Structure 1
């Protein structure tokens, strides 16, 4: 593959107005999924922080404790809401979770979650590797997830949405079919690597980014409603995808829980929605729109 970074060698420009129409199952106009980030963070590495003042300390009790609330408490509250509304999560899984939080893996297997590879740990970006180093890492991540969840991942999102120029082709070698890293569209689209597509994900409709900017619970609910309503309007002639990105250490905080429940209730009761997983969205697109992808 040509790695000249002056040219985009990963995908072509494609205006959304000039594509074959997408029809979702059951005549739905919007395909929606919940992207649940289930992550592991290292104690001795700077990572996602709520306050940067202590982010470079080891140990960083303030920020690590904030993140660690997710697997200890927040995810169980989030699972309660997903269960109430009959929603299967699309889990963006760090493979280290399997070793450190096996109870979460067990809970997801009981609920038939879709499992996507999300790197080994969210404390280390997926970057600065040779091709062979990356192949070994990706093989370990994918094989670990398959061995512990009982499902071989079909999709990928890098830690912090990071990739190398080789990532799509190496994932294709491992049997994966889609990426979430490129948050540049409301529909899936083919990548230049044969067999690989991009499926929409969102850094805007994302609890970590929204609440980090001071969004309130009621505002979050309205944002979810507004996102769905506009995508529904846009989908008059061709289906759209809505991704709701969640992190248990953010949305799982007690004072936010009822607002997640309200947002999920709104989505679960829409008549023109296909509330599904990113796996199913990718599979349907590849079968019906891009069979050669």
Structure 2
């Protein structure tokens, strides 16, 4: 990819962005619901080329078996709808998770086929075929056609945004370079903020603790709220059930959401609604 996908518009030079009801910060939970293969390297707690890799596969699989359900309970307790970043292979491997999300009216985003394979190295027609399969599979399983995309490992090809637009999608999360949505050079496509910083997988693998996580969530909100005196901001909280779903971490997600939903200047929403509002109201 080159920066031909978007122009440089510093946040200091933009018209003020306004969220519904005068809220300052639009907040969403990006809930990664992922599929992993047991015979390929992927996200790991300890580097390994073993096949089968019981240590790393088991660590990841905890999310689908246990962690997601603990996370769902916490989201439900605070009335937070997830923006579900869904690998399409989950629809066959873990249909109970998809059913739980449909029941809760989650926003569904396409997140590739499996997180064991990055979305790279595809020729144009092969990528068109793969993206069509991914999007159609998710629509069939959820009853909702995805409007957003985040690639496995935040990966794209140079053709991905245009091909997604052809399929009716309208925004990407892969470019984590802003606190506001912005328009891409592909007609009708936006970049919506996502976070590789306020992201459980990154933070806890750096050795941070649950109390550290809670403090960072609070700090992130407070600074964005103050910045939003000059225009609304987006706060994304990126979660992976095999990480945040561990008992000793989940309690701090509970406390973080308890704090956020009590704030008067926050719009608790989804990435779909952020994109739709920006498309409709921003110049």
In the TM superposition, residue 193 of structure 1 has moved relative to its aligned partner by 0.3
2:234 match: secondary structure: strand
1:9 match: secondary structure: helix
TM-score w.r.t. structure 2 length? 0.99
Could you tell me which residue of structure 2 aligns to residue 49 of structure 1?
44
Could you tell me which residue of structure 2 aligns to residue 283 of structure 1?
276
Please list every run of 5 or more consecutive structure 1 residues that lacks an aligned counterpart in the other structure. none
Residues 83-122 of structure 1 mapped to structure 2, 5 A cutoff? 83-122=76-115
Please list every run of 5 or more consecutive structure 2 residues that lacks an aligned counterpart in the other structure. none
Could you tell me which residue of structure 2 aligns to residue 213 of structure 1?
206
Residues 1-293 of structure 1 mapped to structure 2, 5 A cutoff? 8-52=3-47, 55-290=48-283
In the TM superposition, residue 121 of structure 1 has moved relative to its aligned partner by 0.1
Q: For residues 241-293 of structure 1, what are the alpha-carbon distances to aligned partners after superposition, in whole Å with 9 as ceiling and x for unaligned?
A: 00000000000001111101000111111000000000000000000004xxx
In the TM superposition, residue 230 of structure 1 has moved relative to its aligned partner by 0.3
Q: Distance in 1 between matches of 2:17 and 2:125?
A: 37
Q: Distance in 2 between matches of 1:14 and 1:66?
A: 41
Further displaced range: 7-16 or 260-269 = 7-16
Taking only aligned residues, the RMSD between alpha carbons, in angstroms, comes to 0.7
1:220 match: secondary structure: helix
Q: Distance in 2 between matches of 1:172 and 1:70?
A: 31
In the TM superposition, residue 20 of structure 1 has moved relative to its aligned partner by 1.4
- Aligned residues between the structures: 283
1:235 match: secondary structure: helix
Q: For residues 163-187 of structure 1, what are the alpha-carbon distances to aligned partners after superposition, in whole Å with 9 as ceiling and x for unaligned?
A: 0010000000000000000000000
Q: Distance in 2 between matches of 1:237 and 1:124?
A: 40
